[in-house]
Structures are given as C-alpha cells and as structure tokens.
C-alpha cells in the first residue's frame, strides 16, 4: 500500500524523494514549455469553484481516513492516534465531513486556494513522517520542501489572496517567471540525486 510504504517501510524516504522530484521536475518543465497556459491556469485557479470543491472533497476524504482508517484498494490510510481525544473520534470525523460540505457551499471565496493549502499541510505531514529519524543528512532537502509547503499552506488557508498576489508578481515578466521555473527544476534535480544515492 502506498500510504503504508511511506510511514512504515524503510524505503518510505525514497518514495517521498521520488514523489517530490516528480512534482518539481514535471511542474516546472511544463511551466517552461507552456508558460502562457500555466500562467493562465494559475491566474484562474483562485476563482475556479469546481476545482475548489474537488480539492476540498479530497481534503475531507484524507481527514476521514486519518480519523477512521480508510482502504481504497491501491492506498490504505491507517487511523492516527488521537490520544485524549480518542473518545470523540466519531464526532470529529463527522465535523470534518459536514464542515467540508458547508465550506464548499457557503465559504466559496478563494475556495481552491484554501483547499490547496489544506492539502499542502496534509502532504507535508507525510513527508516529515517519512524523513523522521532517518540517517542521511540529505533528507533535509525534502524536510525543507515540507516546511516550505507548511509555510505557504498556512497562508493559503488564512490569507488566500496572497496566492493571487504571488501569481500576479511572478507572472508579470519572463525575468521573474523563467528563473522561478529554473530554480524549481534545479531543486528537483538535487532531490533526485539525493534520492538515488543516499535515501
């Protein structure tokens, strides 16, 4: 199972390394190859309601899996430990599901960005857990990436208009866009080398 291999397997860090590499290389290569299409998509994302509803649905499913455990065939999400909140696990589960539905209906302002921020926070947790107490110092490459996701994710959830402002800034000229894409590609290559040689 994918989720189990990330959390339990000694190869979890390698799996995360390949996932981070794939994202960095694919996303930034497309950004360089199709700049106009990517820029248009990024500018449209904050107000795209259907994308927001899909993303908030993914957040709800992920959180449900963490609270109750979930087996999707190709991926199994085990229950997380809730400590002293164990007795209200059911209440919290339904609160997340109902909350996601209410947010999708009544808080649709910048819904895509807020939901993306939630997904980034959940994904960062997986990366940090996979790197926890692992030997190679190069694991810090994915740890830094995870903390960058957390930092941006918190702002996307609480101040989603900053996503729009950031996109407008980086897409304003090729002198900003191309270096940003090249930096992402370079980081992806470094993570790939670390994944292949030390993870």
- pLDDT computed for residue 79 by the predictor: 67
Residue 83 has a CB neighbour count (10 Å cut-off) of 6
Please state, for a pLDDT cut of 90, what percent of the chain lies above it: 59
pLDDT at 14 over 70: yes
Q: How far, in Å, are 133, 197, 198 from residue 142 at the CA level?
A: 13, 14, 13
- pLDDT computed for residue 38 by the predictor: 96
pLDDT at 54 over 90: yes
pLDDT at 11 over 70: no
Residue 177 and residue 39 in contact, taking contact as beta carbons nearer than 8 Å: yes
Alpha helices in 107-139 (DSSP H): 111-131
Residue 170 has a CB neighbour count (10 Å cut-off) of 16
More confident residue, 51 or 199: 51
Give the C-alpha separation, 170 to 168, whole Å.
6
Residue 50 has a CB neighbour count (10 Å cut-off) of 9
Q: Sorting pLDDT into bands at 50, 70 and 90, what band is 7?
A: very low
Look at the chain and report how many structural domains it folds into.
1
Q: What are phi and psi of 163, to 5 degrees?
A: -60, -50
Mean pLDDT, residues 130-134? 87
Give the C-alpha separation, 23 to 120, whole Å.
13
Contacts of residue 185, defined as CB under 8 A and 6 or more positions apart, other chains included, come to 24, 25, 28, 29, 32
- pLDDT computed for residue 184 by the predictor: 96
Mean pLDDT, residues 125-150? 91
| Domain that includes residue 8, residue range | 2-197
Give the C-alpha separation, 48 to 56, whole Å.
12
More confident residue, 24 or 105: 24
- pLDDT computed for residue 78 by the predictor: 65
Residue 119 and residue 63 in contact, taking contact as beta carbons nearer than 8 Å: no
Helix%, strand%, coil% for the chain, nearest 5: 80, 0, 15
Q: What are phi and psi of 173, to 5 degrees?
A: -155, 155
Contacts of residue 5, defined as CB under 8 A and 6 or more positions apart, other chains included, come to 11, 12, 15
Q: What is the pLDDT of residues 62-98, one digit of tens each?
A: 888 887 766 665 566 666 776 777 777 778 888 888 8
Q: What is the pLDDT of residues 139-183, one digit of tens each?
A: 999 999 999 999 999 999 999 999 999 999 999 999 999 999 999
């Amino acid at each position: 199972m994918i989720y189990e291999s990330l959390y339990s397997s000694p190869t979890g860090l390698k799996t995360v390394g390949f996932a981070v590499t794939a994202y960095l290389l694919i996303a930034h290569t497309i950004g360089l190859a199709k700049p106009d299409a990517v820029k248009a998509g990024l500018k449209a994302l904050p107000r795209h309601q259907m994308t927001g509803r899909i993303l908030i649905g993914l957040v709800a499913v992920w959180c449900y899996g963490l609270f109750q455990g979930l087996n999707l065939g190709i991926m199994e999400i085990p229950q997380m430990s809730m400590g002293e909140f164990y007795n209200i696990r059911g209440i919290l589960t339904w609160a997340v599901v109902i909350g996601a539905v209410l947010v999708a209906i009544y808080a649709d302002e910048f819904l895509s960005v807020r939901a993306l921020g939630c997904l980034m926070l959940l994904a960062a947790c997986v990366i940090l857990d996979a790197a926890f107490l692992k030997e190679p110092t190069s694991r810090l490459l994915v740890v830094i990436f995870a903390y960058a996701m957390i930092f941006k994710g918190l702002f996307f959830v609480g101040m989603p208009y900053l996503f729009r402002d950031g996109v407008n800034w980086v897409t304003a000229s090729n002198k900003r866009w191309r270096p940003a894409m090249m930096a992402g590609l370079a980081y992806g290559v470094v993570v790939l080398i670390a994944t292949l040689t030390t993870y």
